[in-house]
Structure formats: structure tokens, C-alpha cells
Amino acid sequence: MENDCIFCNIASGKTGADLLFEDETLVVFKDIKPHAPTHLLIVPKKHIRSVNDLTAEDQGIIGHMIMVAKEAAKRESVNESGYKLLFNVERGGGQVIFHLHLHLLGGWER
């Protein structure tokens, strides 16, 4: 946990967010500035800077993030119309929050 990290603070409940799901490993909440009709963020509670910083011991977290994203897509009813799962990696890859997160984007007309 890093005190000045916005996603650490959301994951620990210090900063409010519209949490849709939480378990011992991660939280899911709506993106504050959505880029799609449905735009969720799947965020591990562990502070990991980016995909570049993943280690072998984080494999379970990544697998779990994707499984939770799949279930969130179903709950948001975008699973059949389709969606994107996206990691922005470092500045050149569009990352602006340096705490690992998976974007779930969907809800466009088919």
C-alpha cells in the first residue's frame, strides 16, 4: 500500500469510489471518466506499478483479474455484445495511474 497512490487508497476504502465488487484480492469500480458506455476498472489490492513489474508470484492475481472481468461483463450485460480488456503499460502505452489496472470497455451498439 502506497499512501499517495489513488488506487491503493480506493482499494483500501480510504478514498470513496463506486465499488461494484470486492474480494480479498481486488476491487472493481467505474472509471471516473468513461471512454465507453460501460467502463470498469479491475484493480488488485496489491500495489504493482505496471505489467512490467509483474513477477511469477503475481500470476494468480492476473488470472483472477481476468476471471472477475469476465463475470463483471456478464453482470453489466455486455458479455454477449462484446467488450475489450486492456492494460495500458507505462507512459507510451497510455498509462497515467501507476498502479496496475485492467480496463473493461463495452456497451457499444452491436
Q: Under the rule (CB under 6 A), what is the footprint of ligand 5GP?
A: 6, 17, 29-33, 41, 88, 94-97
**Is 39 labeled as catalytic in the residue annotation?**
no
Given 39, 47, 99, 101, which residue is catalytic?
Answer: 101
φ, ψ of residue 81 to 5 degrees: the values are -70, -30
If one asks whether residue 48 binds Zn ion (CB under 5 A), the answer comes out as: no
The angle subtended at Cα 89 by Cα 86 and Cα 94, nearest 5°, is 80
Beta strands in the chain (DSSP E): 19-22, 26-30, 38-44, 83-86, 102-106
- Choose from ligand 5GP, Zn ion, none: what does 71 bind? Cβ within 5-8 Å by kind: none
- Choose from Zn ion, ligand 5GP, none: what does 81 bind? Cβ within 5-8 Å by kind: none
**Which are the contacts of 110, defined by CB distance < 8 A and separation ≥ 6?**
81, 82
Total site size for Zn ion, rule CB under 5 A: 6
Give the binding site for Zn ion (CB under 5 A): 2, 5, 7-8, 47, 99
Catalytic positions, please?
101
